[in-house]
Amino acid sequence: KIGRYYGCKGPPPKELNLDNNANIYEAWHRWKREFEFFLVTTETDKKADNIKTSTLLTCIGHRSRERFKFFNVKQQENQPIDDFINDLKTKAQECEFKELTESLIRDRIVCGVSNLKLQERLLRESDLTLDRAVLLCKADEDTRKQTDEIQKHTVDSDNKIGAVKVNGKYNRKQNNQTRNNTKYEQRPKSKYFKETKGSKFSKFKPCRYCSKLHDRGQCPAYGKVCTSCGKSNHFAAVCLTSKRVKQCMLKMK
């Protein structure tokens, strides 16, 4: 039918079958030469690549097409290992591998897994069986899931601890500010008030050197000479020497 379709009296090459050939290499090259002759005879070799590809897939046969699909199966990103293995087993049923089915599925698992570290682990196994390969793949998947969960919980815990620390500092700052405001509001509005410890201003009464109220270190009598006793740093109004002299004179009277 294919020969008549392409306007050729000669038949196309027979469906590729390598199962019963002792020398697979020779069998493949023999079939390839016959197919190339068929392309030339039908002038398909001059047509577009997609037409030549379709002709190849038609001539090579159903079994070879399914085997091509099987040997190109790879585990997709985030694809569960069970889905990957089941896909291989399903495709293998159409390939007629017979007694080679398990060993070829095993080989495809090794070549097709997406995790390179797992692939290295499988390659290090001596006498690797299909069951052993499946077991190692599932164990690796479970381990990675558990690791992801642990890391996720660790990050969440760190974030919560950080939030508590930040909020704790903020709350302490707010509480301190509230206490300070309360103390300020509760101060007596007296002419002679007492400042808290560490304040810029100290607790005081009228200055004994000038008899006035002022900030610490701001006494106007500092550096001045008393007109009563001649000593420095106080005014005559608060001069203790003159007060004692007056008291003595009063007693003498």
CB 60: neighbour CB atoms within 10 A? 17
In a domain, 147, yes or no: yes
In a domain, 81, yes or no: yes
Question: Residue 89 has what pLDDT?
Answer: 96
Q: Is 98 left (phi over 0), alpha (psi -120 to 50) or beta?
A: left
Could you tell me which of 137, 136, 131 has the C-alpha nearest to residue 80? 137
In a domain, 31, yes or no: no
pTM value > 0.85: no
What is the residue range of 95's domain?
Answer: 68-152
Which of these three, 116, 133, 152, is where a domain ends?
152
In a domain, 83, yes or no: yes
In a domain, 2, yes or no: no
In a domain, 192, yes or no: no
Number of H helices, E strands in the chain: 9, 0
In a domain, 243, yes or no: yes
Which of these three, 89, 118, 152, is where a domain ends?
152
In a domain, 143, yes or no: yes
Question: Residue 1 has what pLDDT?
Answer: 46
Count how many domains the chain has. Answer: 2
The angle subtended at Cα 52 by Cα 48 and Cα 53, nearest 5°, is 115
Which of helix, strand or coil describes residue 225?
strand
Residue 48 is given by DSSP the state -
For residue 193, pLDDT beyond 60: no
The length of the chain is 253
Q: Within a 13 Å sphere around the CA of 90, how many CA atoms are in the beta-carbon half? A: 7
Question: Residue 176 has what pLDDT?
Answer: 65
Q: What would the pLDDT profile of 58-96 be if each residue is shown by its tens digit?
A: 999 999 999 999 999 999 999 999 999 999 999 999 999
Q: Which helix (H) or strand (E) holds 136?
A: helix 130-186
CATH number at residue 73: 1.10.1200.30
Q: What would the pLDDT profile of 142-172 be if each residue is shown by its tens digit?
A: 999 999 888 887 766 666 666 666 666 656 6
